[in-house]
Structure 1
Amino acid sequence: MDAKTTYVLRLADTCLIHSQRLSEWAGHAPVLEEDLALPNIALDLLGQARALLTHACALEGAGRDEDQLAFLREERDYRNTVLVELPNAAGSPSDGGGGRDFALTTVRNAAIAIWLELLYDRLQASLDTELAGIAAKSLKEVRYHRQHSSDWVVRLGDGTDESQARMQAALNVLWPYFNELFAAEGVDGVGPAWNELEPEWRARWATLMQQATLTLPRDSAMQLQGHLGVHSEHMGHMLATMQHLQRSYPGGTW
């Protein structure tokens, strides 16, 4: 697979897997507002993933469609960051045994939304006109995602002692995983290297943390390689759920 197709797949898969994790909140959010908002954000991300996967299929030229890329690849062929495949309560002390931690989801949503906003903004200038068009449409959606998730970060971080403690714990858990958002290389004429986004992302994140009265953890040297196909133990379990229907009924249509 050439560098251009891989670049598009890294973004597509990150949106796809992030969407899958968010969809798990449907019917389980702590308030009605989020029971509606989180699945809708998931649908936006799924739409972005579908457009990007369709474009990746065209670039690949192997005759596959977006459904085959989404549901019929092996784990090692996905190029998403490890951050988005973590369970909704991965390592969180505030899980409580329910398998979901709203604080962790809120912190992850804000981090990804800021990152996507920066990336899509730059991709509008891509020499790949199809990718530039996808970025322009997606940018409008992720601006809302960023505003919505940031509002929750501030509301909970600068809220009660308990809500602040839970948000800080979630930030501490996720902080090392943010490194991978800036690990991948760019492709000339297609899009920026992800590490070019890091200075502005960090500046925006620091401002948000100040507003939320949260403390930035110490930087971690941990380097993850989900974007290279090396995933956590959680990825296979997620794919078993995602791919069940397609694997059970190959080529099935409505």
Structure 2
Amino acid sequence: MSDDHLNLALGEQDTGGDSRWAFGTGFEDPLHGVDTAVPDGTDAAQLAAYCLALGDDALVSAQQLAQWCTRAPELEEELALANIGLDLLGQARLLYSRAGQSDGTGRGEDHFAYFRDASQFRNVRLAELPPGDFAFSMVRLLVLSTWRLAMFRALTAADDKVLAAVAAKGVKELTYHRQFAAEWVVRLGDGTDESHRRVRAALTEVTPWIGELFGDRSGENFGVSTEAVEAETLQVLAEVATAASLVLPDLTGTARGGRNQQHTEHLEPLLEELQCVARAHPEGAW
């Protein structure tokens, strides 16, 4: 299947030339010259909480993708997944820093990443499920990047200039993440009987968690329409599923609890591995 076919299916006629292969968005500081004061009329506590939640999604997803190092099907895919993880880690760092600025504590990114327990994380549960096989990771990456891209596009117009700048940087990255995952879902769906079986099983496994993505309405405080994000996400998923000879399962009855700090049993061991060095050597510097 050609890239043009997939771009047409996603409604993306132009992904910015070769920028889709440039992991991240370069080395310029996305916050250079941006006013970091919380704007009048913006609730600082709500802003901090929202940045924290978005940062947690990114950090946990990055840690999951890191587990594909030395395990991906090909070297090219291993490098791509590692760099997608680094994009998400960069987003988490910026969002954590903004959370610490907004809540008035001045806490930095290390505090939020390394010195909170699982019960204090606010990521969606889909992000914390084990990586599974390659098909599962690609379907999950497609779902999360499609949903996150729809949110970040809206956030580029947020009143808070820092959040808007982080979102603008993230849009370029997430466009590539979504494209990479979509191409693999279609390739697997249109491949062998075994690859089709695996990607179909992955879609079935991910489906019960999709509704939760639309249960949190806190983004509406910053210009995000929950209904528009849901509509765009489901439209893209349906189009990719069709291109992959798959059927998007019915989402009726799926959980929509939003971010309620209830997690699966998988988050705690993931964080233990992520945080072990920082907790063993607090304030350590290298």
Scaled by the length of structure 1, the TM-score of the pair is 0.91
User: Which residue of structure 1 lines up, in the alignment, with residue 212 of structure 2?
Assistant: 180
> Cα distance, 1:243 vs. partner?
0.8
Q: Aligned to 2:166, which of 127, 134, 139?
A: 134
User: Which residue of structure 2 lines up, in the alignment, with residue 232 of structure 1?
Assistant: 264
Cα separation, 2, equivalents of 1:5 and 1:224: 23
User: Which residue of structure 1 lines up, in the alignment, with residue 7 of structure 2?
Assistant: none
Q: Is residue 82 of structure 1 aligned with residue 125 of structure 2?
A: yes
> Cα distance, 1:62 vs. partner?
1.2
* Secondary structure class of the residue paired with 2:266: helix
> Cα distance, 1:178 vs. partner?
1.0
Q: Is residue 43 of structure 1 aligned with residue 81 of structure 2?
A: no
RMSD across aligned C-alpha pairs, in angstroms?
1.5
Q: Counterparts of 1:1-254 in structure 2 under 5 Å?
A: 2-89=45-132, 101-187=133-219, 190-223=222-255, 225=257, 227-254=259-286
- Percent same amino acid at aligned positions? 41
Cα separation, 1, equivalents of 2:226 and 2:53: 11
Contact 2:63–2:85 (8 Å) recurs in 1: yes
Q: How many residues align?
A: 243
Deviations 1:151-205 (A, max 9, x none): 1111111111111010000100110111111110135552415454111111111
Unmatched 5+ stretches in structure 2? 1-43
Contact 2:130–2:266 (8 Å) recurs in 1: yes
Contact 1:185–1:195 (8 Å) recurs in 2: no
Q: Moved runs in structure 1, 4+ residues, more than 4 A? A: none
* Secondary structure class of the residue paired with 2:191: coil
Contact 1:9–1:53 (8 Å) recurs in 2: yes
Contact 2:158–2:164 (8 Å) recurs in 1: yes
Unmatched 5+ stretches in structure 1? 90-100
Cα separation, 2, equivalents of 1:194 and 1:102: 30
> Cα distance, 1:7 vs. partner?
1.3
Contact 1:19–1:41 (8 Å) recurs in 2: yes
> Cα distance, 1:226 vs. partner?
6.9
Change (3 A) 1:142 1:188: closer
Further displaced range: 30-39 or 184-193 = 184-193
> Cα distance, 1:253 vs. partner?
1.4
Contact 1:26–1:39 (8 Å) recurs in 2: yes
